[in-house]
Structure 1
């Protein structure tokens, strides 16, 4: 999931480009009312398909960058307060990395060694967990573009940016990227990143406030439990990582997590779920992704989601989405949104 704040500015931008925002939202199964609250949650695959679909329909290859220009740090909600009140860039990045799951558990940022081996340079990386959702060029450009704008706004320093790394090939003319970032941009790279001078990490913020930062961190830690600490999250990752490699049974997952199957079931029950529920959710999301974003034969999809018979997949898809797999695929191709995740509330 991702907070609806990530689509802030989407409706006015679409209208500015001459498009029909309500029709585009309906096409991907998003109720307009969802965007009225920053805290509303949207499946991140739906969010990203909406961005890619809107860019294609409106003939706007730089839609992600344009949306980044309309956003700022405040889309991160309570996390923005902790970041802005940090003492240094390094501390802000540490807090953003720790609590990025509040905005979306599928997204992460980090500070890594320079991919080009320069000791005086570090890479500020921006990643999406592709086990959770397919790669989206427009969403990646939006996220990296916003990351850049936030760093510049907080530091007031553009001189420290050496270059920008993007995993996909350019969607727009190169000058659009260099104009946006004010630096060289390299494409087809292993990960999206801003290559900055290491000295920027020690830069102090004029907005630093220890009291406010402490209260903000307390609020984040108290209200938003880290999903990485939940047993169901570990089970979900284990199931997703092994889906399609064998029959997904609790004994196998328990062995991977080094616990007894009965203990694992008790731990999941304490979190209000079960192994069967987690498995069903992972299969549902994987099936929707394979059916709507690839041309894989349904027999291959059957194996990839861990079913042995295509008829089992057919019954599950009908139960999950109220449509057959072929109907779901046809709807996705024509942009109808039939059978997609329900994000109307």
Structure 2
């Protein structure tokens, strides 16, 4: 299963509402929980996100939906990676840290520089790719990603940074003129890959406002968060379980796949740290249950679902075990 942080859905609710649609109904039809529309850190299947975008574009008659949503997104959605990007000394530095850590946001996405496909020695190509065994290049998702990258370069470098052309690996449903108005450059459809062709040398231009110390700290934080064998397993498992609840089965096999480790290896590491996957899952469920019960008015059935529990009765049993009380009593305030 390939996932993406729900931050990738920023702007979806507002854009759909602007078009007269029901964002929660569209999310549900694509297999996404409504909560994913309003938080950044849930892990949701990337295929479900792509489906939600395509479904919304079709039902709302909005072929340029991805481009519209990109107007509502900014670097903050990338979390710690945004701090590293903003404080990179050059666009090449931005590309380096993005290539290294974009998988934290979405493992299926990649971004990198390559030679110009037309052989122009004064141009380099910035390639945006969605790697998926389940779907061809998603039109709206790719539009959204390219639009986000384009607008990020505009913010970091200049509104007119010399974009030569945009290459699309499909025939877009919206007129090319709409794409060209958005990008301010020629757009070619049916090309081998999704590319932004930019002037050679742009990548080495110094970026204003960067702070080398903040860049170094952000990179160190990202390295620690994504470290392999030397990192403690329990905090990483706890974070991943918290993000998975309500969107995918909270099973050790799923978590191990996301952490790129074998389930038995993960079990051994957790045991060596004095805990277990079951204990962490129960701890996270308890923490989240208390938050939902005391700070929201969600129905009990919805809370059970967000905790990855099969039914409301299971939530009641868990609450009795955790606190010796019912969910309703917890919500009302225990004596």
TM-score class, shorter: 0.5 to 0.7
- Give the aligned partner of residue 265 of structure 2: 270
- Give the aligned partner of residue 52 of structure 2: 50
Q: Does 1:190 align with 2:192?
A: yes
Q: How many Å separate the matches in 2 of 1:26 and 1:138?
A: 18
How far off is 1:125 after superposition?
Answer: 0.5
TM normalised by structure 2 equals: 0.68
TM normalised by structure 1 equals: 0.66
- Give the aligned partner of residue 215 of structure 1: 217
- Give the aligned partner of residue 62 of structure 1: 64
SS of the residue aligned with 2:201?
helix
How far off is 1:267 after superposition?
Answer: 6.0
Q: How many Å separate the matches in 1 of 2:228 and 2:210?
A: 25
How well do the aligned residues superpose, as a CA RMSD in angstroms?
A: 2.1
How far off is 1:131 after superposition?
Answer: 2.3
Unaligned runs of 5+ in 2: 230-260, 269-304, 309-335
- Give the aligned partner of residue 172 of structure 2: 170
- Give the aligned partner of residue 112 of structure 1: 114
Q: How many Å separate the matches in 2 of 1:23 and 1:267?
A: 36
SS of the residue aligned with 2:164?
strand
How far off is 1:135 after superposition?
Answer: 2.5
How far off is 1:270 after superposition?
Answer: 1.3
Q: How many Å separate the matches in 2 of 1:344 and 1:52?
A: 28
How far off is 1:170 after superposition?
Answer: 2.2
How far off is 1:9 after superposition?
Answer: 0.9
The number of equivalent residue pairs is 239
SS of the residue aligned with 2:111?
strand
The 5 A counterparts of 1:279-298 are: none
SS of the residue aligned with 1:196?
strand
**Shift in alpha-carbon separation, 1:35–1:152, aligned structure 2, 3 A:** same
Q: How many Å separate the matches in 1 of 2:148 and 2:154?
A: 10
Q: Once the two structures are superposed, what CA deviation does each residue of 1:60-95 show, in whole Å capped at 9, x if it has no partner? A: 000000001111122211111000100001111111
Q: How many Å separate the matches in 1 of 2:199 and 2:161?
A: 9
How far off is 1:221 after superposition?
Answer: 0.9
- Give the aligned partner of residue 73 of structure 1: 75
- Give the aligned partner of residue 181 of structure 1: 183
Of 25-34 and 56-65, the range deviating more from structure 2: 25-34
The 5 A counterparts of 1:10-89 are: 10-89=12-91
| Contact kept? 2:154, 2:161, Cα under 8 Å | no
How far off is 1:130 after superposition?
Answer: 2.5
How far off is 1:132 after superposition?
Answer: 5.5
Q: Once the two structures are superposed, what CA deviation does each residue of 1:183-203 show, in whole Å capped at 9, x if it has no partner? A: 000111111010000121111
**Shift in alpha-carbon separation, 1:211–1:64, aligned structure 2, 3 A:** same
How far off is 1:269 after superposition?
Answer: 2.1
* Higher relative contact order (CA closer than 8 Å, sequence separation 6+): 1
Unaligned runs of 5+ in 1: 228-265, 274-341
Q: How many Å separate the matches in 2 of 1:30 and 1:161?
A: 35
